[in-house]
Structure 1
């Protein structure tokens, strides 16, 4: 049955709110079409086309073979030898050119000489010749097609891109948490026991390498000396004060928070996929934007749950030790000649599709899909390079087409 291409009432309402008026084309596109009479079906469940006493039944046959046209001809209701009929069918597709199909006699029918690929949506133009007389028919056979005015599409944020080459980044997920690297924490003690005569820093203070922390008077020489910071960092623990004896104890702890290590668990099925310098994208709890890094170390031993820990070093002072991490470790980078964004994929009948855009018309393209990674998925068939297709909000088209009751008419 012909797709009536009816815009949803929501689409029309948005257009009116944007412009204050409804353009004549928008009204035509969004007004309910007159109900079409159900086309006459023949004994082979094909479409009957008649002119005077001559008639043909045109059917898409796909039982045990790829879809093809088969045609039975009659005159005054009686079967005609198919060899006496010359037939040509042209399928005029939306934005994809025209299929030119010729026919050869086989048994009691005429058989088309090419496969009818999906979608079975086209204007059908038929020319038959019998006993020197030409017969012509033309009708619409649409499915998975709708029309939306550009102003409405813009308002509903129906965005498109051009299908073409892409780089697919295949990843494996990994989870873990942030730790501080070895040497990030330094416990400070006095070289010689003595009395702390002055404390130069406070708890929580940021210090620089070489900055004076304590002045101590040695118990042996009775001479003062200073203790300086060996690294940049923050005073995260303070155990001593002026007037106290050092007594060989830890006086304070300096922690450098400028670098962290994401320790990620990788399980046996993925051991072989992860190598040193493998790129990693990390989403860290409490951190708004994802970070990127690479594998810097793979622990040789495994945990009790058989996970092997993979390290990724990060230089970001805003991170916090103990934060949970969700990461994607890139295990393959593949350049493909044709791909689409996965956000644009929808289901249609038993197919995965995107919606091709030609002018203000949109129509399904049934896809044969290959490798996937990140936002992209490889297209092996069903879509031509250079096709404009819908990415964001493709579900609006799916809903509009399902509402219009487009069928798979043979």
Structure 2
């Protein structure tokens, strides 16, 4: 068999290797992974071409026409989990028309807080430093009041990180900030919407924000004019930064859902592969995965309409289907007629 190099599939080489090893070494049992062909019964017209007519009389072709044969891979459930095949159920969906916009992440104004001393006095102790994570009501500093000569505690007003420290032990406090705290658990994406797009972008619309390869689904919270006569409006999107991988100042791109069209059957676009210049979807039938030729319709990049070749309720491979395609190509078992 021809091996597939890591250059062709660099992102999933570690996932593909166990599959390749199993296909090369496993015995031909139902639990092992193997490539095979599923052939439909040949129609009578084809049999007439292969077999000589001993009676010398022509035969009329039988009804039914040509039925296709699908190359399949038999894969145990354990190995399917090991190579991380994601299985979904085909069904109705929506194809969306998107508007592309770009912008930048910022911290919401209420999540940047400066902490000041309540009463003038002398700073006796500092409990935190720049970069420290603090919880609300955690002690930041101890200050001795000039009026009472007694110490009181300055506590954090919010959960967050100490971004700035403007205080040192022994200094006299006034009305100047001592600490700046920032909480980036929630960020805003400020997206620029130009005049040609302005009337199609409204509050409440769904939006898909892309940041460093990760997609964040949200909706438009507000649309406001640009500042200082800038030729665009700003669509504000609230994003949850649960992974902690987003930071203020990062650039983002986004797709705003301008229109949704209902379709009877749709699959994840990443499930569609190409064999012999035909689009195919790998359909799961127990431990077998059949490369099913499909007729496609509209697509929005995330989902693709399927017009024929697949039925609602059938289970198909959404993620890592290219691994199955690679095995078929190695074995020379592509879709046959």
TM-score of the aligned structures, taking structure 1 as reference length: 0.53
Whether the 8 Å CA contact 1:340–1:379 is kept in 2: the answer is yes
Report what 1:372 is aligned to: 300
Q: Which has the larger radius of gyration?
A: 1
What is the aligned partner in structure 1 of residue 63 from structure 2? 90
Which has more strand, going by share of residues?
Answer: 1
Q: Post-superposition shift, 1:8?
A: 8.2
C-alpha deviation, 1:276, in angstroms: 1.4
Paired residues, number: 301
Per the TM alignment, residue 54 of structure 1 is displaced from its structure 2 partner at its CA by 1.5
Name the CA shift for 1:298/1:385 in 2 (closer, same or farther; >3 Å): same
2:92 paired with 1:146: no
Change (3 A) 1:274 1:330: same
Displacement after TM superposition at 1:367 (Å): 0.6
State the match for 1:257 in structure 2: 183
Cα distance between partner residues in 2 of 1:176 and 1:163: 35
Contact 1:346 1:398 in 2 (8 A): no
Cα RMSD for the two superposed structures: 5.2
Q: Distance in 1 between matches of 2:62 and 2:74?
A: 31
Q: Which runs of 5+ in 1 are unaligned?
A: 1-6, 32-38, 41-45, 57-86, 92-98, 100-119, 123-141
Partner of 1:377, secondary structure, is strand
C-alpha distance in 1 between matches for 2:323 and 2:240: 41
TM-score of the pair, normalised by structure 2: 0.62
Q: SS in structure 2 opposite 1:50? A: coil
Q: Any gaps of 5 or more consecutive residues in structure 2?
A: 5-18, 38-44
SS of 1:312's equivalent in the other structure is: strand
Q: CA 1:352 to 1:270, structure 2 compared with 1: closer, same or farther past 3 Å?
A: farther
Matched with 1:272 is 199
CA contact (8 A) 1:180 1:321 kept: yes
Match of 1:301 in 2: 226
**What does 1:188-267 correspond to in 2, within 5 Å?**
196-199=121-124, 201-202=126-127, 203-204=129-130, 206=134, 208=136, 214-217=143-146, 231-232=157-158, 234=162, 236-239=164-167, 242=170, 244=172, 246=174, 250-258=176-184, 259-267=186-194
Q: Distance in 2 between matches of 1:201 and 1:159?
A: 52
Contact 2:291 2:335 in 1 (8 A): no
Cα distance in 1 for partners of 2:247, 2:239 equals 11
Correspondence 1:321 to 2:248: yes
CA drift at 1:283: 4.9
CA-CA distance at 1:274 after TM superposition:
2.6
- Relative to structure 1, is the Cα distance of residues 269 and 159 closer, same or farther in structure 2, using a 3 angstrom cutoff? same
CA–CA distance in structure 1, aligned partners of residues 137 and 109 of structure 2: 17
Alpha-carbon offset, residue 377 of structure 1: 1.3
Match status 1:403 vs 2:329? no
Of 292-301 and 148-157, more deviation after overlay is shown by: 148-157
